[in-house]
Amino acid sequence: MTEIVIPPGAALWAGALILPLLRRRVRAAAFVFFSLASLALVFALPDGARCDVRFLDQTLILCRADALSRLFGIIFAFIAAAGGLYALHLRDTGQQCAALLYAGGALGAVYAGDFFTFFVCWEAMAAASTFLVWAARNREARRAGFRYLLYHLFGGGLLLLGIFFLGAQNGGGLEISAFAPGSSAAAWLILLGVAVNAAVVPLHTWLPDAYPRATVTGAVFLSAFTTKAAVYALARMFPGWDVLIWAGVAMTLYGVVYAVLSDDIRGILAYHIVSQVGFMVAGVGLGTEMGLNGATAHAFSHILYKALLFMAAGLVLHTTGRRNLSELGGLGKRQPAALILYMIAAFSISGVPFFNGFISKSITVSAAGEAGRQAAALLMLLASVGTFLSVGLKLPVFTWFSRDRGLKPERAPWNMYLAMGVTAAVCILHGIKPGLLYRWLPYAADYHPYSRVHLSETVQLLVLTLAAFWMCRRLLEPHAGTVLDFDWFFRRPAAFFRFLFVDTTGRFFDGTARASLAAVRGLAALSRNPYPAPARGGVEAGYAQDRHRPSTRTLVSIILAVFSVLAALALLAVR
């Protein structure tokens, strides 16, 4: 008897179709139900399970389960349920369906065994996530969402072009497998397409541009899926590519620098997505079993604590209507629970012992050291200092402490706190019991995070960072303003390129249209009466057939002239 294999993402996409048909009161609960159903499907799939479908001349592998896909499948399905719980008070069906489509696309990409299925799920993620930005329904969100969409269309175009080249190279075969480093043009195109979604610098500006402008609940989903699905794709297709090591290291440093400079609380968190994904990208580039374990373990941990960070920041935005540090302060007494839950996530991302970031980030750093990449390991440690400085100290100090600005936040819905509590509990649980995460890693894990060396190194870095913050706290005070990023190079010449390619082209086509219309009108007038006499006053201006038509003498003269020319040409030809 053939075993039926159901792709876990199918439960989420089915939910997106069913949700609008349900009563408004039960839609939010149904969202959580469909997310938990996808999680159950993830656990039900044994290693090696496949779902093959014949389509045209291709065999599509809609589902292919192994250790790598299972790890990402577990965390994607879990965070979809946690995000649904966080948004339980929401009554926006459009956002709910978009979030289910988005999460389903991420799960579909993780379990896809061929590039055609992978590409369809990849583009479904792009479309659904764009809606979560636009759902904020303001001018900033519309413009940011449009830029976000352009980036992902560009990345999707590179990916599709690479898939076409790969199909031609392999005689039509599109099954996903790892590429040898620098193997072909197709591999490089696919790598660039994935790098856009991974927010590799300088292709990252869509992330800090769009995420802070998304809806409060939409940003939680955005923080979890796009970049981590890209990390999965890199781990699946490009392990051991050296270029990823230094691309990842650059991301770790670049993200923390801009996070320190940023004023928007969700902008700070968005830049730290760039930084933290850099650790994962570098781990994939190492290509060793330990490096890949570090990349996947940190992706798992990052989804948890980053979602919790966005939940806490979203709660502040939801209850105060403020999102800039320069406008916040003094919320500690009014929102103590939010502060505690935020600090759990902040300690996690900063790698504080007994939190999940401590047991995952250090694997990649240790793997770099074992692979002889001492410079990369040192720079990643430096980036960790910046993480604690901005997310662990600057953001909470100037949001919940600092000068009291007299803000009176509204009461947050209970489900927000419940979702944050569940996510925080998992962050602590994995920090205390690393084996709960290590058992799901793609390779056997022989790593002990609570070694004396690692503990002492971490404590020293945290204490020194705290001391540096205290001494420089006045220099780090937030100020309203715009931080220029790489998108300056895209936006600065925008007016010139608009004039060159949009305005000039439009004027050319407008002029061509006017000239064509005038020519058509002239030909129409000429066809009504070829004789030019009435043209001066218009065909209709005093036109009389007997008076304006050509005389017989004129016609005979024209005929004789033409005949004479033809006769002369004939005589010349005979000679």
pLDDT tens digits for range 10-54: 999 999 999 999 988 899 999 999 999 999 999 999 888 888 888
In a domain, 494, yes or no: no
411-451, pLDDT tens digit by residue? 999 999 999 999 999 999 999 999 999 999 999 878 889 98
Neighbours of 563 (CB within 10 A): 10
pLDDT at 535: 46
* pLDDT reported for residue 547: 64
- Out of 187, 221, 238, a domain closes at 238
- 132-164 confidence digits (pLDDT tens): 999 999 999 999 999 999 999 999 999 999 999
Residue 482 has pLDDT above 80, yes or no: no
pLDDT digits (tens, 9 = 90+) for 541-557: 555 666 666 677 777 88
Residues 188 and 297 in one domain: no
pLDDT digits (tens, 9 = 90+) for 341-375: 999 999 999 999 999 999 998 899 999 989 889 99
Q: Say yes or no: 144 and 172 in one domain.
A: yes
**Per-residue pLDDT, 545:** 61
- pLDDT tens-digit readout, 82-140: 999 999 998 889 999 999 999 999 999 999 999 999 999 999 999 999 999 999 999 99
Give mean pLDDT, residues 247-261.
92
- Which pLDDT score is estimated for 155? 95
pLDDT for res 1: 44
pLDDT at 496 over 90: no
Tracing tokens 């602590």 back to the chain, one arrives at 428
Question: At 543, is the secondary structure helix, strand, or coil?
Answer: coil
Inside any domain, residue 194: yes
Of the candidate ranges 57-66, 125-134, 428-437, 492-501, the one whose mean pLDDT is the lowest: 492-501
133 assigned to some structural domain: yes
Neighbours of 490 (CB within 10 A): 15
CB 159 within 8 A of CB 119: yes
pLDDT at 245 over 90: yes
Asked if residues 147 and 209 have their Cβ atoms less than 8 Å apart, the reply is: yes
- What sign results for the dihedral spanned by CA atoms 376, 381, 382, 384? positive
Contacts for 431-438 with beta carbons within 8 Å, 24 or more apart? 431/348, 431/353, 431/354, 431/355, 431/356, 431/357, 431/358, 431/359, 432/354, 434/359, 437/297, 437/300, 437/301, 437/356, 437/359, 437/360, 438/297
The answer on 211 and 181 residing in a single domain is: yes
Last residue of a domain, one of 222, 238, 254: 238
Looking at residue 321, the DSSP 8-state letter turns out to be S
- Same domain flag for 270 and 158: no
Q: Give the contacts of 285 (CB within 8 A, at least 6 positions apart).
A: 240, 241, 242, 243, 244, 245, 246, 247, 248, 291
What is the pairing mode between strands 50-55 and 58-64? Answer: antiparallel
Is residue 251 within 8 A of residue 295, CB to CB? The reply is no
Residue 481 predicted with pLDDT over 70: no
Domain membership flag for residue 374: yes
- Residue 374's identity, in one-letter code, is Q
Q: Do 212 and 252 reside in the same domain of the chain?
A: no
**Residue 189 and residue 269 in one domain:** no
Residue 534: its pLDDT value, please? 47
User: Which tokens is 466 given?
Assistant: 């705290």
Letter string b/e over residues 275-284, b meaning 16 or more CB atoms within 10 A of that residue's CB: bbbbbbbbbb
Residues 212 and 195: their CA atoms lie apart, in Å, by 21
Please check whether residue 560 lies inside any domain of the structure.
no
Give the residue numbers spanning the domain of 212: 8-238
d(CA 224, CA 207): 12
List the helix and strand counts (H, then E) for the chain. Answer: 25, 2
In the predicted model, what is the mean pLDDT of residues 306-310? Answer: 95
Asked if residues 125 and 37 have their Cβ atoms less than 8 Å apart, the reply is: no
Res. 284 pLDDT band, cuts 50 70 90: very high
Integer Cα distance of 205 and 482 in angstroms: 14
State the average pLDDT for the chain: 88
pLDDT of residue 275: 94
Could you tell me if 164 and 296 lie in one domain? no
pLDDT in tens, 513-534: 899 998 888 888 766 666 554 4
Give CA separation, 63 vs 38, 51, 53, 110, 387, in Å: 13, 5, 10, 9, 37
Nearby residues of 495 by Cβ (< 8 Å), 6 or more positions away: none
Specify which residues 327 forms β-bridges with: none
The SS3 call for residue 59 is: strand
Within 10 angstroms of residue 533's Cβ, the number of other Cβ atoms is 12
Kindly indicate the confidence band of residue 491, based on its pLDDT and cuts at 50, 70 and 90: confident
pLDDT at 273 over 90: yes
d(CA 513, CA 497): 23
- pLDDT for 2 equals 55
Q: What is the pLDDT of residue 254?
A: 93
103 lies in a domain?
yes
Q: What gap in Å lies between CA 318 and CA 243, rounded to an integer? A: 41
Query: Considering only 127-131, 392-396, 486-490, which range has the smallest mean pLDDT?
Result: 486-490
Domain end: 196, 222, 238, which one?
Answer: 238
Same domain (yes/no): 206, 70: yes
Are residues 430 and 284 part of one domain? yes
- pLDDT score at 550: 67
Asked whether 12 and 38 are in contact (CB, 8 A), the reply is yes
Count of domains for the chain: 2
Residue 96's nearest CA partner among 23, 153, 8, 39 is 23
Same domain for 245 and 231:
no
Q: Give me the residues paired with residue 60 across strands.
A: 53
Pair (247, 326) in one structural domain: yes
Mean pLDDT of 179-183: 84
Cα atoms in the Cβ-side hemisphere of radius 13 Å centred on 486: 14
Q: Do the domain assignments include residue 543?
A: no
| pLDDT above 70: residue 537 | no
Averaged pLDDT for residues 195-209: 93
Name the nearest CA neighbour of 257 among 276, 271, 269: 271
Around Cβ 409, how many Cβ atoms within 10 Å?
16
- Assign 3-class secondary structure to 93-142: HHHHHHHHHHHHHHHHHHHCCEHHHHHHHHHHHHHHHHHHHHCCCCHHHH
Nearest partner of 274 among 205, 324, 225, 336, judged by Cα: 205
Which structure tokens are listed for 571? 């005589």
Q: How far apart are CA 377 and CA 248, in angstroms?
A: 11
In a domain, 566, yes or no: no
| Pairwise CA distance, residues 475 & 530, whole Å | 84
Q: What's the burial of 181, exposed, middle or buried (CB within 10 Å: 0-12/13-18/19+)?
A: middle
**One-letter identity of residue 539:** V
Query: Which residues make beta-bridge pairs with 50?
Result: 64
Q: Which two tokens stand for residue 42?
A: 């993830």
The whole-number pLDDT of residue 549 equals 66
Residues belonging to the chain = 575
Could you tell me if 307 and 354 lie in one domain? Answer: yes
Q: Are 29 and 48 in contact (CB under 8 A)?
A: no
Q: Which two tokens stand for residue 122?
A: 């990849």
Q: Helix 336-349 vs helix 414-432: angle between axes, to the nearest 10 degrees?
A: 30
Task: Say what the pLDDT of residue 531 is.
Answer: 56
The b/e string for 294-330 (b: 16+ C-beta within 10 A; e otherwise) is: bbbbbbbbbbbbbbbbbbbbbbbbbbbebbbbebbbe
